[in-house]
Amino acid sequence: MAVPNEDTLELGGQSVGEGRLRGEQPAAKPRARRFLSILFRCCHVYGRLYRNAEQTAYTGRCPRCGAGVQARIGPEGTSRRVFDAL
């Protein structure tokens, strides 16, 4: 039997279709989307940055206060996986 992904919710053996949680993370992943985990110093909480359409930077917002954050992607790619905001 297949092992469910950790992100997959199982409801009585039925796949999750309705009852989406906030709609922020669709049940079907398009592909592993590149993101960075960062620490938002403003509120001292961790959040994620996702690549922008131009693939030139990671952008995101503090989940608490909504402050915008951006991390540019270097020419050799981003090797760091954790960034501090601000």
Nearest 5°: the CA angle 61, 70, 20 is: 35
Applying CB under 5 A, the site for Zn ion has a residue count of: 7
Window 34-63: contact mask with Zn ion (x via CB under 5 A): ------x-xx------------------x-
Q: Is 86 in the site for Zn ion (CB under 5 A)?
A: no
Nearest to Zn ion of 16, 35 (CB atom): 35
- Residue 65: CB atoms within 10 A of its CB come to 10
**Calpha distance 2→5 (Å, rounded):** 9
Q: Is 65 in the site for Zn ion (CB under 5 A)?
A: yes
Sites of contact with Zn ion (CB under 5 A): 40, 42-43, 62, 64-65, 67
